[in-house]
Amino acid sequence: MVTRRGVVETPVFMPVGTQGTVKGILPESLLELGAEIILGNTYHLFLRPGHELVNRLGGLHKFMNWNGPILTDSGGFQVFSLGDLCSISEEGVTFQSHLDGSRHFLSPEISVAVQRALGADIVMAFDECIPHPSARDYVAASTARSTRWAERCKQAHLTDQGAALFGIVQGGMELDLRTRSAEELLEIGFDGYAIGGLSVGEETGLMYRVMEHTLPLLPVDRPRYVMGVGTPENLVEAVARGVDMFDCVMPTRNARNGLLFTGFGKISIKQAQYREDPAPIDPACSCYVCRNYSRAYLRHLYQSNEILASVLNTHHNLHYYLSLMSGIRRALDEGTFGEYRSEFYRQRGAA
């Protein structure tokens, strides 16, 4: 995938830097771990510190000292997750800030303008992330409105020749509505296409079924991005179905809660069994944390509520996710993805 700040090798996992920072880790460490692109969020940066301030200070890249590409989520998911604190009209969404209760308005045009002011390399269309479960009539009306908003985003974005604009396929779990959404977005024309509205509480098999239905509808010569997904197993299975891009807070959020990812599954470092354990998190892991610290020490830090616990846990979890994606890319290049996928599950003790 080519961006104005360089080529990004896909499939790729994007660490989530919601408020201008990937929590618990320095940008320099992200580079060392192999991160190529990160994600920022329109809603949060719109409210604090404000996109105008970020723009005056040189844009988000300079503001947070990250020179690689940045994709910005449109803010739709965060706005609609406010529930009764937001009201939807054809024009856009009026909502109350979760910070201080102040009222604000976001429309497709404003969302695009905010993302451009931040200096995003990939701008996401403004849409509604439909909750699950939802009545079919609601899903149909919401999806149609998101398509109309996507057209307005395209028009608002036309004067920006540098950043890419991605459309987002909606439709809930209704496969015919997913088809209609994808076809209408293709008529509008975008630089890449995302599948939104997944990992919102549906069971895993249904999520994969929606992917399997929707991905073949999207052009193979444009990036295909599944938003907010997910577990290591989700990433492997989604790549097998043709996904190019992922983002998820799981590695960083779980790190702060003491849940660590390994080649043999997850471990909860807070458990008493690790109190005197001299082993690294994962003996097969080559990250800085596994080379230098024991499970006993990491448990001590977590139980003591030390900031370093989040730092080291985050470093390890992001190393795991980024290494997983690097291994997947290598296997795809070598034509051995099937074997890689089988070995991934074998290590977890799953067939």
Secondary structure tally for the chain: helices H, strands E: 15, 15
Note if 73 is an active site residue: yes
Note if 100 is an active site residue: no
Distance CA(169)–CA(147), nearest Å, equals 8
Contact 39, 71 (CB under 8 A): yes
Distance CA(230)–CA(250), nearest Å, equals 7
Contact 222, 186 (CB under 8 A): no
Distance CA(118)–CA(300), nearest Å, equals 40
Per annotation, catalytic residue among 73, 121, 244, 282:
73
Distance CA(154)–CA(137), nearest Å, equals 26
Q: Which residues contact 299 (CB under 8 A, 6 or more apart)?
A: 269, 270, 271, 274, 275, 277
Per annotation, catalytic residue among 121, 244, 247, 282:
247
Give the distance between the most distant pair of CA atoms in the chain.
Answer: 61
Q: What is the DSSP letter of 6?
A: E
Q: Which residues pair with 40 in a beta bridge?
A: 72
List residues with catalytic annotation. Answer: 73, 247
